[in-house]
Structure 1
Amino acid sequence: MSADECDAKLVAEGVEAIVKWFDPRRCYGFCSVTGNLQDKVPEVFFGEQEAKAGRLRGLTLSRGERLECDIVEGCERRSDNALSKRRFSAAVLRPCQSGSGPPGSDADGDTLRMRE
Structure 2
Amino acid sequence: MNRQVRDHEILSAVFAKMDVPAMTVAVGILVALALFLATAVLLLQPVPENYPVGTHLQDLANYLPGYAVSWQGGFIGALYGFFIGGLVGFAAAVYWNMTHYIALGVMLISSAELAD
Using the size of structure 2 for normalisation, the TM-score is 0.25
User: Higher RCO, 1 or 2 (CA under 8 Å, sep at least 6)?
Assistant: 2
Which structure dedicates a bigger proportion of its chain to helix? 2
Using the size of structure 1 for normalisation, the TM-score is 0.25
Which structure dedicates a bigger proportion of its chain to strand? 1
